[in-house]
Amino acid sequence: MKFAGSHILSIGQFEREDIERVFTVADRMVPYAHRERVTKVLDGAILGNMFFEPSTRTRVSFGCAFNLLGGEVRETTGFESSAIAKGESLYDTARVLSGYSDVIVMRHPASGSVSEFAQASRVPVINGGDGANEHPSQALLDLYTIRKELRHQGRNDIDGLRIAMIGDLKYGRTVHSLCKLLGLYRNIHLVLISPDELRMPGEIVEALRMGGHTVVESDVMEASLSNVDIAYSTRIQEERFASKADADLYRGRYRLNQSIYTRYCEPNTVIMHPLPRDSRQEANELDNDLNDNPNLAIFRQADNGVLVRMALFAMILDVVDQVDKSARDVNWYTERRF
């Protein structure tokens, strides 16, 4: 695909070779994200970061990625502080705000809303999560993490990957996008663990099976974890339920902790989660006692998000080849932190 000037709305727009290109550029961003080098390649460019749903990592890491390339970030958070609260349409908001920015990242609670916004935007729009639908940049950083973790174990191939996805697979947009992304590879073995009411949407499962992948669905976690390379846990998406009481029916159903890991998982199984993990007692889908487990990759995942998002900006704004030209070493004290 052509990245320059394009919207990033869904994993459906990528081919496998596009993904590899994003990852190659992400690798080149390491010295900047690790504060060894500074580039000003996007000096003067403005990111409109529009988040109409709660977000920490996605919002801050998109903003940070843009800053690390030398650009400025303008943020709108929440409906209350936006003219959408006065009844303005997505069309009008997009027409206006795309005049103020060079690229926009948007998160919105309604499925399809970011695509609708993009149609009226005069600049590229990246989907930062549209309701329960998709979260494409998260899936890219998840796969980038999977690739890095496997390489660390001496494995070079995503083809043949065995992955368990656990939790709210109905409303979890990250697992929807990740399934679509894995579907571009070969011979993926997926174990989808969820309560019956929160199963992965049928069309996603169907598309994976049609693509020759193996999909097993289960409502039991422990025994299903025994043959996987990746255990990808997710939070019950409370904000998509009619009430807190409805979400409470499922919260805490699957809890992965060190003793379950030791008993059921292979020694190298990588533990992932898009974050935030719900650490409240009644949920606790990934116990804090896993924090010292070297295979807990959740914070490496979050670090990788900056690299992948820098790559997307550099590719969309067509500056990949100029990033290093305007670069210099940092001139402040930096501790090695990655």
Footprint of ligand ASP (CB under 6 A): 129, 135, 173-174, 235, 274-275
Give the count of beta carbons closer than 10 Å to the beta carbon of residue 282. 8
Q: Both tokens of residue 275? A: 């974050």
Is-contact 175 217, C-beta < 8 A?
no
DSSP 7: -
Q: What is the nearest approach in angstroms of ligand ASP to the Cβ of residue 57? A: 6
Tell me if residue 262 is catalytic: no
CB nearer to ligand ASP: pick between 41 and 247: 247
Q: What is the nearest approach in angstroms of ligand ASP to the Cβ of residue 275? A: 6
Tell me if residue 174 is catalytic: no
CB nearer to ligand ASP: pick between 70 and 129: 129
Among the listed residues 57, 95, 199, 255, the single catalytic one is 57
Tell me if residue 135 is catalytic: yes
Tell me if residue 57 is catalytic: yes
Tell me if residue 86 is catalytic: yes
Phi first, then psi: give them for residue 129, nearest 5 degrees: 120, 115
SS3 145: helix
Give the C-alpha separation, 7 to 123, whole Å.
8
Among the listed residues 7, 59, 107, 108, the single catalytic one is 107
Among the listed residues 58, 145, 234, 269, the single catalytic one is 58
CB nearer to ligand ASP: pick between 70 and 305: 305
Give the C-alpha separation, 100 to 82, whole Å.
15
Q: What is the nearest approach in angstroms of ligand ASP to the Cβ of residue 212? A: 28
How many separate helices (H) and strands (E) can be counted in the chain? 11, 11
SS3 30: helix
Q: What is the nearest approach in angstroms of ligand ASP to the Cβ of residue 263? A: 26
One-letter amino acid identity for 36?
Answer: E
CB nearer to ligand ASP: pick between 98 and 176: 176
As annotated, the active-site residues are: 57-58, 86, 107, 135
